[in-house]
Amino acid sequence: MYPDPNSSSQKMYDRALASLPGGNTRTTVFMKPYPIYAARGEGCRVWDLDGNVYIDCINNFTSQIHGHAHPALIKAATAQLALGSAFGLPTASEVDLAELLASRLPSVDQVRFANSGTEAVMMALKAARAHTGRPKIAKCEGAYHGSYDYAEVSLDPTPEAWGRNAPVSVAYAKGTPDNVLADVVTIPFNDTEAAVSLIREHGRELACVLVDPMPNRAGLAPADRAYLEALRKVTREVGALLIFDEVITFRLGYRGAQGIWNIDPDLTTLGKIIGGGFPVGAIGGRRDVMAVFDPRPGKPALPHGGTFSANPVTMRAGIAAMELLDDAAFARLDTMGEAVRSGINEAFRRHGVPGGTVGLGSLLKIHFADRLVRDYRSAYLSEEEARRQTVFSRALLNRGVLAAGNGLMALSTPMTDADIHAIIDAASGALEEVAG
Ligand code: PLP
């Protein structure tokens, strides 16, 4: 049972406290009183240091769409390892993966690889500035796009800082320069009128509008079609680029979220699943915009290196991961996602707990909010709702299912019908505990 002061994870955490700040390497994996340390993973399961086994619905915050240690990915990565893991030369693998991604995304002519989603977003924003010659970016309140200063503005404003009429740009990290805040226009997610009016107001200075069509930290509610269509239209009107951050949503379908909504952004940022379990990021987009990276003129408009960018092990594993994701794989992920969402919604009703699930495809988020969740503010938890979420997360963990602390769950292709039932049963038991 978690927490257990005698567990190996607790002991490892005690050790980690000496060499890592707060014993931690990634803020996102921190857990009180101590995080569970993974020993190994296989298929949709993870074992901790004490030998406890869990069905993994964290899946490394959505990157592990094929779960852990998938034989095809091991084969692709080890074959490349035997040939060398990194060169100061380009390899055929980056051409192969770029072609594959461009063939799936009609809005993407060309691709640039990076090492993380954070870096992909940073380079996309810089590309938009280099292409338009304009300084400002617009992004949605509460939306997470990694740790680039500009991209993390207004990630978690408290209600006191919400601003009376429109969202305001609020620092997320201490030390964010005021200049950064001045160059970020924060728009509300899923409020078409307010977003369009803010974009028009700053139009001449805006390099781009950055939007995640189903932003996890802002609640994981899918964007209204009208909202995305309006962003597409108004960005053209003011001459700014539209950037879709599909670092997570690319796992929603063969052509990602843009295929589902049928909207072509100017640039797309990718990461997570396209690396087959290895660190990765990518920027894709229209040829004329991607030209900012072209080194042929001598010095490119936007120089971008990266010792491990387009690393061949990542590229080969990424190609193998993407090839496994055909229409049938997405159809199965959709069916499993639908089953988990409706099973958990039904459990909420049965146990009389206010809340339910949102999400699409293989992604869902559990909310303890007794209202329609469609943006950051409606997803914002009261103290009591946050308490219920904590009780739920721990109860789920102790029933052998891992979910992110904020209720995000990501399914994977190795899951069977029995696993799906086990996830729903565990969630139902955890909700019974919440109902208490
Ligand atoms: N964009 C989105 C939508 C994300 O969810 C994330 C990470 O979760 C990022 C960007 C940053 O990606 P990375 O963690 O690979 O830097």
Which ligand 1 atom is nearest residue 215's CA? 3
Q: Is 117 in the pocket of ligand 1 (CB under 6 A)?
A: yes
Q: Which of 324, 346, 361 is the last residue of a domain?
A: 324
Catalytic residue among 212, 272, 376, 380: 272
Whether 415 and 308 share a structural domain: no
Domain boundaries, position 337: 36-65+327-435
Task: Please tell me the distance between residue 97's alpha carbon and the centre of ligand 1 in angstroms.
Answer: 20
Residues 262 and 381 in one domain: no
In order of 56, 189, 217, 259, 425, the CA distances from 47 in angstroms are 10, 38, 27, 36, 20
Our answer on whether the CB atom of 141 is closer than 6 Å to any ligand 1 atom is no
Packing angle of the helix pair 417-435, 327-350 (nearest 10 deg):
30
Atom number, ligand 1, closest to the C-alpha of residue 246 = 3
Residues 60 and 106 in one domain: no
Pocket residue to mutate for ligand 1, from 27, 139, 145, 278, most atoms within 8 A of Cβ: 145
CB 190 within 8 Å of CB 225: no
Report yes or no on 315 lying in a domain.
Answer: yes
pTM given for the model: 0.98
Query: Are both 305 and 360 inside the same structural domain?
Result: no
- Residue 313 and residue 377 share a domain: no
Residues 425, 299 within the same domain: no
Q: Are residues 253 and 122 in the same domain?
A: yes
DSSP 8-state class, residue 363:
E
Report residues of the chain scoring pLDDT below 70.
none
Over the stretch 287-339, which tens digit does the pLDDT of each residue have? 999 999 999 999 999 999 999 999 999 999 999 999 999 999 999 999 999 99
Whether 364 lines ligand 1, by a CB cut-off of 6 Å, is no
Residue 391 burial (10 A CB sphere; 0-12, 13-18, 19+)? middle
Inside any domain, residue 13: no
**Are 292 and 355 in the same domain?**
no
- Domain CATH number, residue 389: 3.90.1150.10
Q: Which of 149, 245, 266, 375 is catalytic?
A: 245
Residues 119 and 236 in one domain: yes
Indicate if 245 belongs to the active site: yes
Instruction: Tell how far the Cα of 152 is from the centroid of ligand 1, in angstroms.
Output: 11
pLDDT score, position 253: 98
Q: Which atom of ligand 1 is nearest to the CA of 28?
A: 8
Q: What pLDDT, on the 0 to 100 scale, is given for residue 164?
A: 73
- Domain-ending residue, one of 278, 304, 324: 324
Those residues whose C-beta lies under 8 Å from the C-beta of residue 43, and which sit 6 or more positions away, are 67, 68, 69, 70, 412, 414
pLDDT of residue 166: 80
Q: Interface pTM (ipTM) of the complex? A: 0.99
The predicted pLDDT at position 361 comes to 98
* CA 117 / ligand 1 centre spacing (Å): 5
C-alpha angle with apex 149: 97 to 218, nearest 5 degrees? 75
Residue owning the nearest CA to atom 13 of ligand 1: 117
Q: Tell me, in angstroms, the distance from the centre of ligand 1 to residue 390's CA.
A: 23
3-state class (DSSP) for residue 275: helix
What is residue 388's predicted lDDT score, i.e. its pLDDT? 97
Residue 5 covered by a domain: no
Instruction: Decide: 216 in ligand 1 pocket, CB within 6 A.
Output: yes
55/123 same-domain check: no
- Selection from 24, 64, 33, 48 nearest residue 362 by Cα: 64
CB 252 within 8 A of CB 331: no
252 in a structural domain: yes
- 272, 376, 406: residue to mutate for ligand 1 pocket, most atoms within 8 A of CB: 272
Best of 29, 59, 62, 121 for a ligand 1 pocket test (most atoms within 8 Å of beta carbon): 121
Strand order across the 401-402 sheet: 38-42, 45-48, 53-56, 401-402
Total number of domains constituting the chain: 2
Q: Quick check: is 136 catalytic?
A: no
Check if 278 has its Cβ closer than 6 Å to any atom of ligand 1: no
Contacts of 248 by beta carbon, 8 Å cutoff, 6+ apart: 62, 212, 214, 216, 272, 363
Q: Do residues 111 and 228 share a domain?
A: yes
pLDDT attached to residue 162? 87
Let me know if residue 2 belongs to a domain: no
Q: What is residue 165's predicted lDDT score, i.e. its pLDDT?
A: 73
Residue 14 lies in a domain: no
The verdict on whether 380 is a catalytic residue reads no
Q: Which of 291, 324, 357 is at the close of a domain?
A: 324
Cα→Cα distances 200→237, 261, 270, Å: 9, 23, 27
- Establish if 30 belongs to a structural domain: no
Pocket flag, ligand 1, residue 118 (CB < 6 Å): yes
What contacts 273, CB < 8 A, 6 or more positions away? 62, 63, 65, 250, 251, 321, 322, 325
Cβ–ligand 1 distance for 247 under 6 Å, the answer yes
234 in the same domain as 140: yes
**What pLDDT, on a 0 to 100 scale, did the predictor assign at position 392?**
97
Is residue 139 lining ligand 1, measured as CB closer than 6 Å? Answer: no
Q: Determine, yes or no, domain membership for 9.
A: no
Q: Are 314 and 275 in contact (CB under 8 A)?
A: yes
Instruction: Give the CATH number for residue 100.
Output: 3.40.640.10
